[in-house]
A and B are shown apart, each in its own frame.
Chain A
Amino acid sequence: MPVNPDLAGRVFPPASPYLVGREKIREFSRAVFATSPLNHDPEAARAAGYSDVVAPPTFPVVIQEATLAQLLAEPDAGIDFSRVVHGEQRFESSRPIVAGDELTATLTVASVKSLGGNAMVTARSEIVDETGAHVVTATSTLVIRGEDA
């Protein structure tokens, strides 16, 4: 089944809120070779004006993940996960994520394009905090290789 072009513009229900833990930020920081004291040490983070440890710039992918799972599971999407390649990624932040944040992500399919035998789906997840204020937008472009590609 090819990728459904009618996906473009579709907005998914918000994912369950994600509570950002201090140890999760530390674990993720170690995994991406992040050594800034602000990623690991609450005292250093407070001294720099934050309420707790600060997440690395790519941490929002952890929160975005649940929304991409919604997209891949959409019955009429026609996205075969075994043919998906991650093409592009972007994070646009209004403020950094810190431990203690409770964040909610909502996915919108920004575009569906055909290119050669492949399809390109751009999915934008808007991540807001418990007050509804924008924190970061995580945008993924997924390339779905065609049957013959």
Chain B
Amino acid sequence: MSTAPDISTLTVGDVVAQQTYSLSRDSLVRYAGASGDFNPIHYRDDVASDVGLPGVLAHGMLTMGLAVQPVVDWAGDPGRVVDYTVRFTRPVVVSPADGAVVEVSAKVGQVDAEAGVVRVDLTVTFEGATVLGKAQARVRLA
């Protein structure tokens, strides 16, 4: 394994990673193909509109999937994320021309030095409002 961050240097509240992601309709089509989730609300404006949505939405699982990546990069190994949970609280509407910008900030929520596990709390926002609730990744660092 690559070198992990030193758990003894971490304090609750430390911001360990921040990243901005630009989503386009292409991103949604790519995720649909990769995941097998072909719900048309993620690529057809007419279907989204018919079911009362404000527009085509990013897959919640795409938002969940990208939001943990800054944590993976910080930890140095995707295998160190041992538990990852989110609530989907608000949709990310992806405009056909302008796409959508999703911002992720990851901060230390809890340090369990004995177990070698850190809980990282994610704040994920779109247009200034959070889109995931209680987004937490447990990362094994030792």
Please indicate whether A and B come from the same complex rather than being unrelated chains: yes
Instruction: Name A's B-contacting residues (CB within 8 A).
Output: 24, 27-28, 30-36, 38-39, 48-50, 54-58, 61-62, 65, 82, 85-93, 95-96
> Chain B, interface size: which category?
35 or more
Assess whether A48 is in contact with B35, with CB atoms less than 8 Å apart. no
- Which residues of B lie under 8 Å from residue A57 when comparing CB positions? 65, 68, 72, 78, 81, 84, 137
Residues in B14-57 with C-beta less than 8 Å from chain A: 21, 27, 30-31, 33-37, 51
The total of interchain contacts (Cβ-Cβ below 8 angstroms) comes to 106
Separation in Å of the A37 CB from the closest CB of chain B?
9
By CB atoms of chain B within 10 A, which of A31, A61, A86 has the most? A31
Instruction: Name B's A-contacting residues (CB within 8 A).
Output: 1-2, 21, 27, 30-31, 33-37, 51, 60-62, 64-66, 68-69, 72-73, 76-79, 81-88, 137
- What separation, in Å, do the CA atoms of A28 and B60 have in the docked complex? 15
Assess whether B34 is in contact with A91, with CB atoms less than 8 Å apart. no
Closest 10 CB pairs of A and B: A32-B65, A96-B79, A31-B34, A90-B85, A58-B65, A57-B81, A31-B31, A28-B34, A33-B66, A27-B34
